[in-house]
Amino acid sequence: MTMSDSGGSSGRLRQDLGILPPGDIRRTLLALSSLHIKKKTLKTLFDFRFNNGELAGHSLGNLLLAALTQITGRPDLAISEAAKILEVSGQVLPVTTDNTELVAELTDGIIIKGEKNIDVRKIKPEIPISEVYLSPKGKIFSGAKKAILEADLIVLGPGDLYTSIIPNLLVSGTCQAIAGSEAKLVYICNLMTKHGETDGFTVSDFLREIRKYLGRAGKRLSVVIVNNRLKLPTSVSSWYKKYKSEPVLLDLEEIDEVKIITGSFATSGKLIRHDPSKIAKVLVSLF
């Protein structure tokens, strides 16, 4: 889990209490929780967000993670305790327990600090990002390193390229662990571009940036999963156009040294998302 979130409730708790941003951790714990089957109220409570007063914008789950961090004195133990409460299947690990800030440099030299300012760019969103880095760099959490080294399959993406995926690779020790792992390395390419981050990006552009930040570990990237049958209904297409977002096109002639798995992997609805069951079938087939 990337630990560079600086917006909303997470950003406030991070600044006020000096803890790791809990928002992404909370969402992942809830996604892996079995409480949708039983004790549904507890899961709903963990995701409840206050609407007014001094707590406006905070979710109860974020506050509980903050409390558990102060009680246990360690963010990894706080996550572990929350996972027990939510009866989580699997393991949720922070990539680092160090306090880091995401920084982006644009191609015109402008520096933007803070994940929230990069994620929803108000500063020159039409200027491409040249580079992102962490300040300070941060060191990989020992539990995350162990999980990478012992993994059978390492999956990168999908998600915002510069604010969700790459920040994990920027932490000192992450790419070294990937390079030292015997796991198959897979990248799931995004379905849509994002204004201010990946305008006009094709599959090869996403792949180029992933390889760039993987460094020597990039040689281990062997499979890229790409959706190539995306037909947007007019209403959905209009919504994405409003946010200057377009389908990511596959430019196969620009890609080499990896296996490209294509198919219809998107769900249909108000928003375009990867179909979890279809992606899971592909990943299982790689073993």
Q: Tens digits of per-residue pLDDT, 164-216?
A: 999 999 999 999 999 999 999 999 999 999 999 999 999 999 999 999 999 99
How far is residue 85's CA from residue 35's CA, in Å, rounded to a whole number?
Answer: 9
Q: pLDDT category, 84, cuts 50, 70, 90?
A: very high
| Residues 6+ away with beta carbon under 8 Å from 109 | none
Token reading at 252: 């196969």
The secondary structure of residue 249, as a DSSP letter, is P
What pLDDT is recorded for position 15? 84
What pLDDT is recorded for position 7? 73
Dmax (CA) for the chain in angstroms is 55
Average pLDDT (108-129) is 93
Containing 105, the helix (H) or strand (E) segment is strand 101-106
| Residues 6+ away with beta carbon under 8 Å from 122 | none
What pLDDT is recorded for position 13? 87
Cα radius of gyration (the chain)? 19
User: 19-70: per-residue pLDDT in tens?
Assistant: 888 888 998 998 898 877 667 787 788 889 999 888 888 989 999 999 999 9
Domains and CATH numbers, the chain: 8-85 (no CATH), 142-285 (3.40.50.10680)
Which is nearest to 191 in space by CA: 263, 142, 104? Answer: 263
What pLDDT is recorded for position 11? 82
Q: What are phi and psi of 258, to 5 degrees?
A: -140, 155
What pLDDT is recorded for position 229? 77
Rounded mean pLDDT of the chain? 92
